[in-house]
Amino acid sequence: RHHCRKCGFVVCNQCSKERELIENIHPTKEVRICKVCNEKVDDAENNQESNRHRGDSSGMHSSEDDDGEEEPLQVSSNWPGANNCTWS
């Protein structure tokens, strides 16, 4: 069993093989994260990439699009029922 360093869930070895740089935990070392957190990271990266290809050549957002507030983190409703993962 391992702790995901991003969400804190305890997951099995199979479900915690991915790693990510989380600067407030360690500034240079990638730390263990669970499948669910990794999927969220992948989704966010894919969304950023698709936004770049939609015609915003400057890479900047207009002030109308961003009110300066971050949306709250949303936890997947299917967790911990993820594919063949055990948790406690």
**SS3 letters for 23-62?**
CCCCCCCEEEECHHHHHHHHHHHHHHHHHHCCCCCCCCCC
Longest dimension (CA), the chain: 46
Instruction: List phi, psi (to 5°) of 34.
Output: -85, 170
Dist. CA 51–CA 37, nearest whole Å: 21
**Amino acid identity of 33?**
I
pLDDT of amino acid 71: 58
Mean pLDDT by 10 residues, the chain (88 residues): 90 90 92 91 79 61 54 54 54
pLDDT of amino acid 16: 87
pLDDT of amino acid 48: 79
Query: Where are the chain's structural domains?
Result: 2-45
pLDDT of amino acid 67: 55
pLDDT of amino acid 29: 95
**Architecture in CATH for domain 2-45:** 2-Layer Sandwich (3.30)
Name which of 14, 20, 15, 13 is nearest 5 in CA terms: 20
Instruction: Report pTM.
Output: 0.51
Q: Which DSSP symbol is given to 13? A: S
